[in-house]
Chains A and B, each alone.
Chain A
Amino acid sequence: GDSVTQMEGPVTLSEEACLTINCTYTATGYPSLFWYVQYPGEGLQLLLKATKADDKGSNKGFEATYRKETTSFHLEKGSVQVSDSAVYFCALSDSRDDKIIFGKGTRLHILP
């Protein structure tokens, strides 16, 4: 079945450092890809998404490009802030049934 694999955490960085969180997927069809973020004590929030190959999703300085050839959707940010500390989930959805399948999540700590 469909699945998502993302890098293990926690990831600890200093403020203004560069961030990459790797994510690869396995899917039989042509899924939509997502990054969700969960801040402490809050529900999951959609950070960005891409619905087809070569699409780039972006939001709040974060970017991810849908790479069909490498089945990847890595999350990147050029300069992280303390407020970016959260858990990040890579996910995919097959539009046939509206389900979302998540990776295990990566906890990110940003030090001032």
Chain B
Amino acid sequence: GAVVSQHPSWVICKSGTSVKIECRSLDFQATTMFWYRQFPKQSLMLMATSNEGSKATYEQGVEKDKFLINHASLTLSTLTVTSAHPEDSSFYICSASQRGDRRGFGAGTRLSVL
């Protein structure tokens, strides 16, 4: 299989605080991890792509200083939403891939910023 664990599944925070979301590949080594954002009734929008040990590549329109991505090992990537504001409230999903041969998705994290 290609099991991916994402944590937390739901987080509520105050405006101005930072939130960290973890994504782990449990039974394979992920050469690439992807972070998506999903708005209600919208498609999953790719935010960034990260390869282990290198800087993430952000899609156009995504603020890299707002959404910090770290991919420190072949099984773990983190997304930190810095100084979160209500407009950052959304559903965030990670995906881990081993050169496209194995790919799994996390169950998602619902972020609510008050």
A interface, CB within 8 angstroms of B: 4, 36, 41-46, 89, 93, 95, 97-105
Considering the chains assembled together, what is the distance between the CA atoms of A44 and B83 in angstroms?
29
B44 and A43 contacting across the interface, CB-CB below 8 Å: no
Considering the chains assembled together, what is the distance between the CA atoms of A11 and B46 in angstroms?
26
A89 and B105 contacting across the interface, CB-CB below 8 Å: no
B46 and A104 contacting across the interface, CB-CB below 8 Å: no
Query: Closest B-chain residue to A32, C-beta based?
Result: B100
B42 and A100 contacting across the interface, CB-CB below 8 Å: no
Question: Which parts of B85-99 form the interface with A (CB within 8 Å)?
Answer: 93, 95, 97, 99
Interface assignment of B6: CB less than 8 Å from any CB of chain A: yes
B interface, CB within 8 angstroms of A: 4, 6, 32, 34, 36, 41-44, 46, 49, 93, 95, 97, 99-100, 103-108
B43 and A4 contacting across the interface, CB-CB below 8 Å: yes
A44 and B93 contacting across the interface, CB-CB below 8 Å: yes
Interface SS, B side: strand
- Which chain A residues border B42 with CB–CB below 8 Å? 104
B71 to chain A, nearest CB (A): 14
B107 and A41 contacting across the interface, CB-CB below 8 Å: yes
- Which chain B residues border A105 with CB–CB below 8 Å? 43-44
28 A–B contacts from the bound complex (CB under 8 Å): A4-B43, A36-B105, A42-B107, A43-B4, A43-B6, A43-B93, A43-B104, A43-B107, A43-B108, A44-B93, A44-B95, A45-B105, A95-B100, A98-B32, A98-B97, A98-B99, A98-B100, A99-B34, A99-B46, A100-B46, A100-B95, A102-B36, A102-B43, A102-B44, A103-B43, A104-B43, A105-B43, A105-B44
- Which chain B residues border A100 with CB–CB below 8 Å? 34, 46, 95, 103
